[in-house]
Amino acid sequence: MSKDSIRRIGVLTGGGDCPGLNAVIRAVTKTAIYQHDLEVMGIEDGFLGLIRNRMHRLEPNDVSNILTRGGTILGTSNRANPARFAVATSPDGSPIFEDVTNRVLEHVAERRLDAIVCIGGDGTMTGAADLVKRGVRCVGVPKTIDNDLMHTEITFGFQTAINTATDALDRIHTTASSHHRVMIVEVMGRNAGWLTLHSGLASGSDVILIPEIPYEIDSVCRHCEQRSTRGKSFTIIAVSEGAMPKGGQQVVEQIVKDSPDPIRLGGISQVLTRQITERTSLECRATILGHVQRGGSPVPADRILGTTFGHQALQLILDGQFNRLVVMQQSRITSVPIEAVAGQQRLVPPDDPLIAAARAVGTCFGD
C-alpha cells in the first residue's frame, strides 16, 4: 500500500491504563495531521470501541495539554477481545463468549480506517495479531507499568511506576524505623518482578521477593532476625504481587471471568505478614500499593518515550510496514512483528545485573 492511499487512521488504548498513553495519542494525532494531512479517529475504550462502533474524530486541539496527564483520554478496557467477547451471562453466572471479529471488520470498513495504532500490552497485541490475520492493518505501541513485553527493553509507564513505588518504599522507612517493625510493601507487575526489583533497589529495600526467584519463608525470617540482632531495628520488604514460595503458588485476589487474562494477583504481603508474625517475635505490617502505581503524571522519560514511540508508529504506517510493534532494542527504536510478542511475557533473568548488584549490597532474595 502506498503512502498516498492512507487517508484515515484509528488509534486505541487497550488493557490497563498507564502513565504516558496520552503522550502517544498526542504524538500520533499531531504527527498525522500536521506532517501528513491525515484524519485521525480516536477509538473509545480499546477494542470495545471497535466492537460497538464507538469512535470520534481527533483534532489537534483535542490532544492539547494532555502530555502531562495520566490515564488515557480515549478510555480503555481489559475485557474486550473481539475473538472471545463476553456477549451474555449463562444461568450459572459464567460468561458466554462469541467471536465478534466480523463486527469489528464491518466497523473498520464503515469508518474507512486504513490502519489502526493499537497502544497496549500483551493482551492488546494478542487482539491486534488476530485482527491482522483478518486483514486489518495494525501497528502496535508497547505500554505497561510491568515492563514485561517481549522484544522491547522498555515500555512507557514503567519509569513513572518505579518513581511511585520507590517513593512509597522511602516513606515506609519512617514507620519502620520509628516502630522497629518489619514493613512489607506489595508491588504490582503480574508474573514479572521488574517493578519490584527496580523500586526495591532504588529504595534500598532489605528484602526483595520477585516471582522469578521463589523464596523460602525461613530464609526471609532469618534475614529479618539477623538484622535485628545486628542492631538494625527494622526491615523493609519489597514483594511482587506475583511472588511465591519455593514449590508453592501465587496468591490470587480475584478472577475476572470475562477478561482475556482473568487472574488478578494480590495479597501475598498479608500472607507474609502472618507467617513472619507466627515465626518471629518481630512486629510486622503490610501495605498493598495497588493502582496508585498506575496513576499520576508521567515522568519526563515516559513522556519522551511515548512521544517517540507514537511518532515511530506513524512512520511505520507511512512506510507501509504494517502489523509491526514499535520496540526499543539496545537503546534504539526499531520494530518487530506484532505476533512475536502476542501472549508472551518477558521475565527477569536470574543473571540480571540488578540482582547481582542488590545481592552485593546485602539484599536478601529469600532463596
Positions in the binding site for ligand F6P (CB under 6 A)? 16, 78, 121, 144-146, 188-190, 241, 264-265, 294
The least CB distance from residue 148 to ligand F6P, in Å, is: 8
Which residues contact residue 294 at a Cβ distance below 8 angstroms, ignoring those fewer than 6 apart? 16, 17, 18, 19, 70, 145, 157, 161, 188
CB 347 within 8 A of CB 193: yes
The least CB distance from residue 247 to ligand F6P, in Å, is: 23
Of residues 268 and 317, the one with the C-beta less far from ligand F6P: 268
Of residues 214 and 295, the one with the C-beta less far from ligand F6P: 295
The beta-strand segments (E) located in 229-352 are 235-240, 252-255, 263-265, 284-288, 324-329, 332-337
The least CB distance from residue 188 to ligand F6P, in Å, is: 3
* DSSP one-letter code for 215: B
Of residues 63 and 149, the one with the C-beta less far from ligand F6P: 149
Among 17, 122, 130, 146, the active-site one is 146
Which has the closest alpha carbon to 115: 140, 78, 94?
140
CA terminus-to-terminus distance, the chain? 54
The least CB distance from residue 321 to ligand F6P, in Å, is: 27
Which residues contact residue 206 at a Cβ distance below 8 angstroms, ignoring those fewer than 6 apart? 223, 224, 227, 232, 235, 236, 237, 362, 363, 364
The least CB distance from residue 294 to ligand F6P, in Å, is: 5
The least CB distance from residue 122 to ligand F6P, in Å, is: 9
Task: Give the separation between CA 328 and CA 336, rounded to whole angstroms.
Answer: 10
Of residues 119 and 265, the one with the C-beta less far from ligand F6P: 265
- Alpha carbon distances (Å) from 332 to 20, 140, 309: 19, 17, 11
**DSSP H stretches of helix in the chain:** 21-30, 36, 47-52, 101-110, 122-133, 158-179, 194-203, 217-229, 268-279, 300-318, 353-360
The strand order across the sheet containing 235-240 reads: 207-209, 235-240, 182-187, 284-288
Of residues 133 and 291, the one with the C-beta less far from ligand F6P: 291
The C-alpha cell that represents 54 in the structure block: 464507538
Helix (H) or strand (E) holding 39: strand 39-43
The least CB distance from residue 78 to ligand F6P, in Å, is: 5
Is 352 designated active site?
no
Of residues 16 and 142, the one with the C-beta less far from ligand F6P: 16
Closest CB to ligand F6P: residue number: 188
Partners of 142 in beta bridges: 120
* DSSP one-letter code for 242: T
Let me know how long the chain is.
Answer: 367
Of residues 145 and 314, the one with the C-beta less far from ligand F6P: 145
Q: Give catalytic residues, as residue numbers.
A: 146
